[in-house]
Structure formats: structure tokens, C-alpha cells
Chain A
Amino acid sequence: MAASDFPQFPVRMSIVSVPAHLPVVRSAVERLCELMGFAEEDRGGIVLSVDEALTNVIKHAYHGDDDKPIEIVLRPTESAGQAALSIEVRDWGDVAEPAQIRSRDLEDVRPGGLGVHIMSSCMDEVTYTPAPDAGTVLTMLKRLNQRNG
């Protein structure tokens, strides 16, 4: 199937905030990216970005609670005339202050805080939107570049 012919229907996953579920989500994202025609390097970056987004939700929005809802929507779409994958990660937890979700200075070598940098490095667009009722919707977009597929 040509990359641009991939059906533009969303794939939805609902999980609870259990770290043991992360490999399941990563496998689904990897397979969808493969079917859409993303190159190996981009697939790795997309999978990593989704993992980092979920990790941030579990650690910061839900403070490690393992029974809270997270919804993930993988949406094959088009952007700027190119096939693309849009990914939404929705939580109902605490909303981070803008200063907390900025990418940190990499010269400061210390554990933690790398997830936002990874997402902004690997994805074409990363947007945080406070949800109307509670929590946050993180939307990430990756275009299928010419070198892919």
C-alpha cells in the first residue's frame, strides 16, 4: 500500500497509567508507522516520543498513580501536502505550568527532564492544550518525508 493511500481513520487506545502498558502502546505505534511507510529512524523517534509523552503523564500529571485514564489517538492524516501521523495523548491529571514543559538545557547533565526535548527533536509539531474539563491534550505531528517509504 502506498503511504499516501493509507486509510485516514483513527486508531484509539485507552489505557490506565500503568508503566507495564507502555510496551503495548509502543508496539502498536511502531506497527502503524511501519504500515504508513515511515523510515526506521523516524519510526524510532515517533515511538520514543509517544513513550515520553506517556511517561510524563504518569509521572507528572498523575504523580505515579497507576489507575488513572489515558487515551491515545493515532490519526493518519495529511499536513502541508504530505501524508502525516497525528498523535493525541489525553490525560485528566494536573496541568503542567508552561515553564515545566519547556525543553531543558542539555548542558546541564542530570537525570530527568529530557522527555520534552526528545519529543520536540523527533516530531515536526508538539502542542499542549489544556482540556476543557480537566487535564491536557498533547498533540504531536510527524510528516512522512520524501525519503520515507
Chain B
Amino acid sequence: MTDDSSPIQSVKWVGSDRAAVVVEAGGDIDLHQSARFQQALLALLDERPKKIVVDLSGVAYMDSSGVASLVKLLARVRRNQISLILAGLTDRVRSVFEITRLDTVFQIVATQQEALEA
């Protein structure tokens, strides 16, 4: 973990050309953590990846603040023609996307491996 209180647990660049990046998030992503979460995600764009995988399997809880961070990232990656894939959503986190109907807007897969192969 890069910071005890950070929702970002690790950032891994994949491939010799660093074309993809996998971000593993964890903990509760709510109003208290969402600004830090969003800042860390948007900072990845400076490295110009072709694909960003956000692995949420370690996230026990997410509210609309956390979802909004991902929506902001989605808007930015679309403008820059970067692929964004969410992986490993727990049932509770997935339900927030379903309630807000954002499960149809984001590309969501079961595992990090599946996201890298997509």
C-alpha cells in the first residue's frame, strides 16, 4: 500500500511498452476517500497509457462519491481514446453501479486477468 489511508493499494504497469496500467483499490471509497481516489486515478493519464484497469476486488464499500470519481475518469479517457475497464466488483459495489445504471456505461469484467486480455 502506498499510503496507509489511501484507497489506492498498488499501481502496476504492464508490458515492456507500459501500455496498460492496473490499479488495485481497497477499503471504503466514500466522501472521505473519493477525492484522493480521483486524484490518483487522474494522475495516471499523465503517463499516457492505452488501457487502465481498476481492480475493485479489495473495495468493501463504495458510494456515489466513489462512483463519481470513476465517471470523471471515464470522461477523460474517452476524450483521450484510452480503454478503461473495471474488474473484481463485489456484490455491494456492483449494486451501486446497477442502481445508478452505470453498469451499462462502464466496461466491467470479473477479474483483473480478464481485463488485461480484453
- Interface of A with B (CB < 8 Å)? 19-20, 22-23, 26, 40-41, 44-45, 47-48, 51-52, 54-55, 58-59, 106, 109-112, 114-115, 117-118, 121-122
Which residues of chain B from 9 to 50 have a CB within 8 Å of any chain A CB? 28, 30-32
Which residues of chain B from 57 to 102 have a CB within 8 Å of any chain A CB? 61, 63-65, 67-69, 71-72, 74-75, 91-92, 95-96, 99-102
Q: B105 within 8 Å of A by Cβ?
A: yes
Minimal Cβ-Cβ distance residue in B for A121: B99
A142 to chain B, nearest CB (A): 14
CB atoms of A111 and B68 under 8 A apart: yes
CB atoms of B92 and A109 under 8 A apart: no
If the complex has contacts A44-B95, A109-B71, A111-B71, are A55 and B30 also in contact, measured as CB distance less than 8 A?
yes
* Contacting residues, chain B, for A51 (C-beta < 8 A): 30, 63
CB atoms of A19 and B30 under 8 A apart: yes
If the complex has contacts A19-B32, A114-B100, are A55 and B63 also in contact, measured as CB distance less than 8 A?
yes
- The total of chain B residues at the interface (CB under 8 A) is 24
* Contacting residues, chain B, for A48 (C-beta < 8 A): 63, 95-96, 99
The binding surface of chain B is classed by DSSP as: helix
CB atoms of A55 and B102 under 8 A apart: no
Task: Give the distance in Å from the alpha carbon of A121 to the alpha carbon of B95 in the complex.
Answer: 11
CB atoms of A59 and B71 under 8 A apart: no
If the complex has contacts A19-B30, A22-B32, are A52 and B99 also in contact, measured as CB distance less than 8 A?
no
CB atoms of A106 and B100 under 8 A apart: yes
CB atoms of A109 and B102 under 8 A apart: yes
Q: Contact check: which of B31, B65, B92, B101 meets A44 at CB < 8 Å?
A: B92
